A and B are shown apart, each in its own frame.
Chain A
């Protein structure tokens, strides 16, 4: 089983700043089958990034993903108040399709 560890647990930043979220895998993720999701309170998760670096349809270019193998990063540039949410990484290389424990992004 691939264990995903996200860091930091919480990020508190001001509008206009950049957020860097990390996701480490316990073993190499085949073909960089790594996705990022955003979840706001009371809502279902929403796909942001797939294939480690490809933005999903309708996602602003302020969101970017990078990384390969075991180290992955989600960067949110020019933070806006609406970016306040939980962010989860997930691999889809095999089963079980595990999620990281999440990073909470707070906008001051």
Chain B
């Protein structure tokens, strides 16, 4: 069965960096686009970033562009989100999600999320 397990969250001071990971299993990781979606406390879902199945195409939300890098290691079956210059409003639960296809698909599986708290 498909499993997505996020890790790497924690409490970090403003301006610092954090790298999130999402370990995938139960499907051919290298064939599917992958996303990060976040949710601030008590708020709705915010799409953050996407990488195509081969990592060649990446897009970011305006709110994180220039501070965040999405990447993937298809050999290790891991998705990453490198977050730099963290701000208070980056606080929230970060989910990785599998796309239903290699590109422009719906999100058919989600991880359980990892909590990121940016606070001094």
Interface size on A, residues (CB 8 A): 26
Question: Could you count the A-B residue pairs with CB atoms below 8 Å apart for me: how many are there?
Answer: 62
B50 in contact with A95 (CB, 8 Å): yes
A88 close to chain B: CB less than 8 A: yes
Main secondary structure of the interface of A (DSSP, over half): loop
Residues of A within 8 A of B45 (CB): 37, 39, 45, 88, 90, 99, 102
In the complex, A35→B100 CA distance in Å? Answer: 12
Among A44, A93, A99, contact of B44 (Cβ-Cβ < 8 Å): A99
- Which single member of A44, A56, A88 contacts B112 (CB below 8 Å)? A44
Judged by a CB distance under 8 angstroms, whether B46 is at the interface is yes
Q: Mark A35-74, 1 if CB is under 8 A from B, else 0.
A: 1010100011111001100001000000000000000000
Q: B27 at interface (Cβ–Cβ under 8 A)?
A: no
List the B side residues contacting A78 at CB < 8 Å.
none
Q: Please report the total number of B residues contacting A with Cβ < 8 Å.
A: 24
B94-120 vs A: 1/0 string, CB under 8 Å? 010001100011111111110000000
Do residues A35 and B107 form an inter-chain contact, with CB atoms below 8 A?
yes
Chain A residues with CB under 8 Å of B105's CB are 92
Q: Are B95 and A47 in contact (CB under 8 A)?
A: no
Contact status of A94 and B110, CB under 8 A, knowing A39-B45, A45-B95, A99-B44: no
Q: Least Cβ distance of B92 to chain A in Å?
A: 13
User: Cα distance A90–B112 when bound, in Å?
Assistant: 19
For the complex formed, measure the closest distance between the CB of A20 and the CB atoms of chain B, giving whole angstroms: 20
Considering the chains assembled together, what is the distance between the CA atoms of A90 and B108 in angstroms?
12
Cβ contact within 8 Å between B95 and A33: no
* CB<8 Å pairs between A and B, sample of 18: A33-B104, A44-B95, A44-B110, A44-B112, A44-B113, A46-B110, A47-B106, A47-B107, A50-B100, A90-B106, A92-B105, A92-B106, A92-B107, A96-B47, A96-B60, A99-B46, A99-B47, A102-B44
New contact pairs (4) apart from A50-B108, A95-B59, CB-CB < 8 Å: A33-B106, A44-B95, A45-B37, A99-B44
A contact set with B: CB distance below 8 Å: 33, 35, 37, 39, 43-47, 50-51, 56, 86, 88, 90, 92-102
